[in-house]
Amino acid sequence: MTIINPPHDFPLERTVPGPIPQASAPTVAAPPPLACDAHCHVFGPASQFPFSPARTYTPPDSGIHAFQALQKRIGLERAVFVQASCHGTDNSAMVDAIQRGNGRYAGVAMVDASITDEDLAHLHANQVRGTRFNFVAHLGGAPNLDEFWTVVHRVAELGWHIVLHLDAKDFSQYDHLLDEMPVPYIIDHMARIPAQDGVDQLPFQQLLERLRTDEKCWVKISCAERLTKGKVAPFDDVVPFAEAILTTAPDRTLWGTDWPHPNMQTMPDEGHLLDLLTQFAPDQTLRDQVLVDNPQALYDFH
């Protein structure tokens, strides 16, 4: 695809930190064969894949080679790269990463209504199977809803799904939008619920109700490091939320690292996040479903 902005030939001032240099290997249980990180990103390198001039943060380069080294250390084989707002609608870095996976990687793009049919076809041919919309305030807030629906209906023709990045406090105001979704949709990061408010908080109960009543609704049990009180390990207060989601919709739940953890100030250890999954889902069969079967159902890995 065409790169929107010329590559940067000068150092960029980074506004957020990068991931830890080397994750631990998981210590509780090794991931099964074909296990998938269903929510991760690639950033740059900016000299080849420039960041959007409209970005709200500038991360360090965290490209495909660093990601592949991470996967080898923690024992994962597949991945879904989710386009992040710092690259805007230029999905070139993500497509390049997918192409290096030889069928092991898929993608979720960010597009707007100006995208051509040819560019959509190019993304689809490169194993992109969804598009993402940010609704969170610190990333620019809700999109224009007329444009949102234009994109949703266009990508529905390709059989794609929609990924929605929402804040918990805003969840209820989008009930009608979710009711009208013509395709499967994924709620990122457990709707960003604050764990300190407990599982009885209204936004989380609304999320569980939607999982019970709408078979198009999926959820990612990711980003414990964002949801936990204090934003530091061990993230135990997030476990009841993931357990409730898995009890409600085990066949519509995904897990991911969120590497390289954009906008986090204290970086988690990805091996510890895998160990945390064994608390979310102590049963090996359920973990296999979350790590292998569910991603395969949405992304049709080769």
Q: Tell me how far apart the alpha carbons of residues 288 and 169 are, in angstroms, rounded to a whole number.
A: 32
Tokens found for residue 277: 């999954």
Q: Tell me how far apart the alpha carbons of residues 95 and 18 are, in angstroms, rounded to a whole number.
A: 21
Q: Tell me how far apart the alpha carbons of residues 27 and 120 are, in angstroms, rounded to a whole number.
A: 41
Q: Tell me how far apart the alpha carbons of residues 63 and 79 are, in angstroms, rounded to a whole number.
A: 14
* Residue at 171 is within a domain: yes
3-state secondary structure of 82: strand
The Cα-based distances of 261 to 33, 86, 108 in angstroms read 24, 12, 17
Give the model's pLDDT for residue 142.
Answer: 84
Active site residue 112: no
DSSP for 164-196 reads EE--GGGGGGGHHHHHT-SS-EEEGGGGG--GG
Give the model's pLDDT for residue 77.
Answer: 98
> What is the domain range of residue 217?
36-299
DSSP H or E stretch at residue 207 = helix 202-213
Backbone angles phi, psi at 162, to 5 degrees: -115, 135
Give the model's pLDDT for residue 2.
Answer: 37
Q: Which of 96, 258, 283, 300 is catalytic?
A: 258
* Residue at 190 is within a domain: yes
Q: Of 147, 149, 158, whose CA–CA distance to 181 is shortest? A: 149
Give the model's pLDDT for residue 12.
Answer: 72
Give the model's pLDDT for residue 11.
Answer: 52
Give the model's pLDDT for residue 121.
Answer: 98
Give the model's pLDDT for residue 106.
Answer: 98
- Give the CATH number of the domain where residue 45 resides: 3.20.20.140
Q: Tell me how far apart the alpha carbons of residues 246 and 243 are, in angstroms, rounded to a whole number.
A: 5
**Alpha carbon 101 to its chain's center:** 18
* Residue at 268 is within a domain: yes
* Residue at 80 is within a domain: yes
CB 268 within 8 A of CB 70: no
* Residue at 24 is within a domain: no
Neighbour-count burial of 86, counting CB atoms closer than 10 A to its CB (0-12 exposed, 13-18 middle, 19+ buried): buried
The Cα-based distances of 211 to 26, 51, 88, 195 in angstroms read 30, 35, 30, 19
Number of separate domains in the chain: 1
The conformation of residue 130, written as its DSSP 8-state character, comes to E
Tokens found for residue 243: 């357990």
* Residue at 23 is within a domain: no
Give the model's pLDDT for residue 75.
Answer: 98
Per-residue pLDDT of the chain (302 residues; tens, 9 = 90+): 433 444 444 457 889 999 999 999 999 999 999 999 999 999 999 999 999 998 989 999 999 999 999 999 999 999 999 998 899 999 999 999 999 999 999 999 999 999 999 999 999 999 999 999 999 877 777 889 999 999 999 999 999 999 999 999 999 999 999 999 999 999 999 999 999 999 999 999 999 999 999 999 999 999 999 999 999 999 999 999 999 999 999 999 999 999 999 989 999 999 999 999 999 999 999 999 999 999 999 999 98
Residue type, 239: V
Give the model's pLDDT for residue 229.
Answer: 95
